[in-house]
């Protein structure tokens, strides 16, 4: 990817990431995630990790205490966060990317022995801080963004020279070129059913005592923080309200960049730095995260149902899940949106139409799910979907017929988008069965796949006609198929 700024005009922007309240909040992942988002806008990015401990490097440290040692191409033994940086940014780190307080002191003391400071008293400020600043600036002019993660927790004695170097860098670079991100913790007290902001307030207060004003707060919390709570944190911590973000626990670390992107963190970063606001392209990353996830999440399920829904949230994950379900022959029941997603998945991955989509999510030339002409004319949203009971004719010899034991049924609808008949031929030629249609054949109501134990999607809502003592035939068939699937696995494992 070409970078947005040419070398000659590049004014490197610095983002400092500190941590407060307690350790292990995930500064490394937060740094790697922000780095990835900036890279996906098109900027060149690198990350430097500065560790306040006195070991020269982590090579001699017990991994149980400090985590595994990471090794770079140039043979340096480094902090494990460099592994996160490399995996997220897809860039190789080097010995310039990590330094400990021990290494900094060692270099200063060696210089002192060689006489490089002859005549001077060697002091933490400016000699140690200058040595730290040399490391902080080692990519100056080479990268658009340098993220500097300062290890440890604000308040630790050994972090002080690093924070002082950060303060000096802030001053030298000015507010348009340097930005301070502080990662803190907002505990949830179960008995009081309340989040507590005091530890964050204290952590920021301490940071400000060192002369560092945070621009952005990332608040690690068990659950999302509502607007009032974020406003309270902003008020007490001297930060803009829209610069307080929650950073809640994710199932996998790879979901963190997607969460930050959803919260528009790059917009806030770029506005603070007075840069043009642009959105990162996370298509490939989201695909990777979903694929990571899909197998892990769906292994072991005997049947999967995708329920009705509106809007594009989570659609790509649903489509990736359907691909797994189709290929692994897990019984599938798609209701309304669940049927539409199944059609999109089949068009993309079986019919060779990679851009297939519903016009509800993306308007293009491959809208296998689209608005009907009469829906296009509709201006008012309320009460104008295809609503209520419509007749449907069922083809014999299908899963649907097996369930209903009838060729004529009536089911209730509530949706705006429909199967697009322009793609009927390619979908059916590739094996999709249109097992239920309106009597005139114009509206596709049920789709199925053959060579599968039970794969069925309905445009209507069977749940609306399922009764307490008389379950809907499609639900009964689906559950039966799931039980059969479960049994077949037991036979295999025995």
Q: Please give the residue ranges that form the binding site for ligand GLN (CB under 6 A).
A: 308-310, 336-337, 360, 414-417
Specify the residue, 20 or 317, whose C-beta has the smaller distance to ligand GLN: 317
Q: Give 217 or 336: the residue with its C-beta nearer to ligand GLN.
A: 336
* Catalytic-residue membership of 336: yes
CB of 415 to ligand GLN, least distance (A): 3
Smallest separation (angstroms) from ligand GLN to the CB of 455: 18
> In terms of CB distance, is 29 or 315 closer to ligand GLN?
315
Which residues lie closer than 8 Å to 80 by C-beta, 6 or more apart?
Answer: 28, 66, 67, 68, 69, 70
Nearest residue (CB) to ligand GLN, 155 versus 308: 308
N residues, the chain: 494
438 class by beta-carbon count within 10 Å (0-12 exposed, 13-18 middle, 19+ buried): middle
Catalytic residue selected from 158, 267, 393, 463: 463
Q: Each residue of 321-332: b (16+ CB within 10 Å) or e?
A: bbbbbbeeebbb
CB nearer ligand GLN, residue 272 or residue 348 = 348
Instruction: Please state, in angstroms and rounded to a whole number, the distance separating the CA atoms of residues 42 and 144.
Output: 10
> Which CB, 102 or 308, lies closer to ligand GLN?
308
Residue 309 CB, shortest distance to ligand GLN, in Å, is 5
Residue 360 Cβ vs ligand GLN, minimum distance, rounded to whole Å: 5
Which lies closer to ligand GLN via its Cβ, residue 256 or residue 337? 337
Among 339, 315, 313, 342, which residue's Cα sits nearest to residue 326? 342
Active site residue 219: no
483 contacts: CB under 8 Å, gap ≥ 6: 302
Collapsed DSSP state (helix, strand, coil) of residue 91? coil
Taking each helix axis as running N to C, give the angle between helix 101-114 and helix 160-173, from 0 to 180 degrees, rounded to the nearest 10.
80
Evaluated on CA atoms 19, 25, 31, 34, the torsion sign reads negative
Largest pairwise CA distance in the chain: 100
Question: Tokens in use for 82?
Answer: 């460099």
In the complex, minimum distance from the CB of residue 481 to ligand GLN, in angstroms, rounded to a whole number:
22
Q: Which three-class secondary structure state does DSSP give residue 338?
A: helix
Handedness of CA 286, 292, 297, 300 (dihedral sign): positive
Contact by Cβ (8 Å): 250, 256: yes
For residues 174 and 460, give the distance between their C-alpha atoms in angstroms, rounded to a whole number.
Answer: 59
Distances in Å between the Cα of 303 and the Cα atoms of 333, 475, 485 are: 8, 11, 8
Q: How far is the CB of 441 from ligand GLN (least distance, A)?
A: 20
Taking the least distance from each CB to ligand GLN, the nearer of 10 and 416 is 416
Q: What does the alpha-carbon distance between residue 328 and residue 341 come to, in Å, rounded to a whole number?
A: 17
Q: Residue 337 Cβ, how far from ligand GLN at the closest point, in Å?
A: 4
Helices (H) and strands (E) in the chain, counts: 17, 21
CB atoms within 10 A of CB 19: 28
* Strand ranges for 29-177 from DSSP E: 45-51, 70-71, 77-78, 98-100, 145-150
C-beta closer to ligand GLN: residue 57 or 360 = 360
Cross-strand partners of 244: 217
- Give the whole-angstrom CA distance, residue 139 versus residue 157: 27
| CB 340 to ligand GLN: min, Å | 6
Catalytic one of 336, 341, 351, 392: 336
Catalytic: which of 84, 272, 452, 461? 461
The least distance separating ligand GLN from the CB of residue 412, rounded to whole angstroms, comes to 11
Residue 323 annotated to the active site: no
Please give the positions annotated as active site.
336, 461, 463
């Amino acid at each position: 990817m070409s970078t947005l700024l040419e070398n000659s005009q590049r004014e490197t922007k610095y983002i400092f990431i500190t941590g407060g309240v307690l350790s292990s909040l995930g500064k490394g992942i937060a740094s790697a995630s922000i780095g990835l988002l900036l890279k996906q806008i098109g900027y060149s990015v690198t990350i430097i990790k500065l560790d306040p401990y006195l070991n020269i490097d982590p090579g001699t440290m017990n991994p149980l205490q400090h985590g595994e040692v990471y090794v770079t191409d140039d043979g340096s033994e480094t902090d494990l966060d460099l592994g996160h940086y490399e995996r997220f940014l897809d860039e190789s780190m080097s010995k310039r990317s990590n330094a400990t307080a021990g290494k900094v002191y060692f270099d200063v003391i060696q210089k002192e022995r060689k006489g490089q400071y002859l005549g001077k008293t060697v002091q933490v400020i400016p000699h140690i801080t200058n040595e730290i600043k040399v490391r902080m600036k080692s990519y100056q002019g080479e990268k658009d963004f340098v993220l500097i993660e300062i290890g440890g927790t604000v308040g630790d004695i050994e972090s002080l020279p690093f924070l002082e170097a950060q303060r000096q860098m802030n001053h030298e670079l000015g507010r348009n070129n340097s930005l301070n991100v502080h990662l803190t913790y907002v505990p949830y007290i179960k008995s009081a059913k309340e989040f507590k902001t005091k530890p964050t307030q204290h952590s920021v207060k301490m940071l400000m005592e060192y002369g560092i004003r945070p621009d952005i707060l990332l608040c690690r919390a068990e659950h999302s923080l509502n607007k009032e709570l974020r406003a309270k944190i902003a008020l007490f911590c001297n930060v803009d309200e829209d610069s307080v973000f929650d950073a809640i626990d994710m199932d996998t670390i790879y979901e963190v960049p997607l969460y930050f992107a959803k919260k528009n963190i790059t917009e806030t970063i770029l506005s603070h730095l007075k840069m043009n606001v642009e959105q990162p392209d996370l298509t490939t990353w989201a695909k990777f995260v979903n694929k990571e996830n899909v197998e892990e999440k769906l292994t072991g399920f005997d049947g999967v149902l995708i329920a009705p829904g509106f809007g594009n949230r989570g659609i790509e994950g649903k489509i990736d899940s359907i691909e797994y379900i189709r290929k692994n022959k897990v019984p599938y029941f798609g209701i309304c949106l669940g049927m539409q997603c199944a059609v999109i998945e089949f068009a993309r991955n079986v019919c060779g139409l990679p851009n297939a989509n519903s016009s509800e999510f993306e308007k293009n030339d491959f809208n296998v799910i689209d608005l009907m002409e009469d829906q296009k004319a509709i201006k008012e949203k309320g009460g104008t979907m295809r609503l209520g009971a419509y007749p449907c004719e069922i083809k014999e010899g299908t899963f649907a017929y097996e369930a209903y034991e009838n060729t004529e049924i009536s089911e209730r609808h509530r949706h705006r988008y429909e199967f697009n008949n322009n793609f009927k031929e390619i979908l059916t030629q590739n094996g999709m069965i249109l097992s239920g249609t309106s009597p005139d054949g114009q509206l596709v109501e049920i789709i199925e796949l053959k060579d599968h134990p039970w794969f069925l999607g309905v445009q209507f809502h069977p749940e609306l006609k399922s009764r307490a003592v008389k379950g809907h035939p499609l639900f009964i068939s689906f559950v039966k198929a799931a039980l059969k699937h479960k049994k077949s696995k037991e036979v295999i494992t025995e």
